[in-house]
Amino acid sequence: MRTYTGTCHCGKVAFEVDTVLDGVGVCNCSICRRRNAVMHRVAAENFRLVRGAGDLVLYQFNTGTAKHYFCGTCGVYPFHRPRLAPEAYTVNVFCLEGVGDEEIAALSVNRFDGRSFSSVE
Ligand SMILES: [Zn+2]
């Protein structure tokens, strides 16, 4: 386990996750595809919002189960609470400090076919 700090672009939102970054996920559902995110899921007890609770904007659609957050200032997607695991946090790997492009490229990629769920989010 290692602790990673993640931030949005402007820095108003910051979070920490404790995890073993052994893989990433990408998804082809309507929102993941648009935000082009490379993601990593952690359990709620391994996620801490450091700052920015008042700067996060919540976006929900469809069943309203998932909670998609973005920074209200810079628009970056830092993390969300996924529909299929609403108790967890899924973070944007590219927001994590100290994780290089080569490291990300070397990780195994789980391609989730979210588009095939009738009502994805
Ligand atoms: Zn921001």
Q: Indicate the pTM of the whole model.
A: 0.92
CATH architecture type of domain 2-116: Beta Complex (2.170)
Structure tokens at 14: 């910051």
Q: What is the C-alpha end-to-end distance of the chain, expressed in Å?
A: 29
Question: What single-letter DSSP state applies at residue 121?
Answer: -
Provide the residue ranges of all domains of the chain, joining segments of one domain with +: 2-116
- Predicted pLDDT at 118: 55
- Predicted pLDDT at 24: 96
Measured in Å, residue 61 CA sits from the centre of ligand 1 at: 22
CB-based neighbours (< 5 A) of ligand 1, an ion: 8, 10, 12, 71, 73-74
Measured in Å, residue 68 CA sits from the centre of ligand 1 at: 14
**pLDDT values of the chain reduced to their tens digit, one per residue, 121 residues:** 999 999 999 999 999 999 999 999 999 999 999 999 999 999 999 999 999 999 999 999 988 999 999 999 999 999 999 988 899 999 999 999 999 999 999 999 999 888 887 554 4
